[in-house]
Amino acid sequence: QVRLVESGGGLVQAGDSLRLSCAASERTFRSYATGWFRQAPGPGREFVTSMTWNAGMTYYADFVKGRFTISRDNAKNTVYLQMNNLKPEDTAVYYCAAVAGLPGRSPADFSSWGQGTQVTVSS
Radius of gyration of the chain (CA): 13
pLDDT of residue 65: 83
pLDDT in tens, 58-117: 999 999 889 999 999 989 999 999 999 999 999 999 999 999 989 999 999 999 999 999
pLDDT of residue 47: 97
Contact at 8 Å (CB) between 7 and 119? no
pLDDT in tens, 11-64: 999 999 999 999 998 888 889 999 999 999 888 999 999 999 888 899 999 998
- CA 87, CA 97: separation in Å to the nearest integer? 23
pLDDT of residue 26: 86
- CA 83, CA 96: separation in Å to the nearest integer? 14
Q: Using DSSP, how many helices (H) and how many strands (E) does the chain show? A: 0, 11
| Amino acid (1-letter code) at residue 95 | Y
pLDDT of residue 50: 97
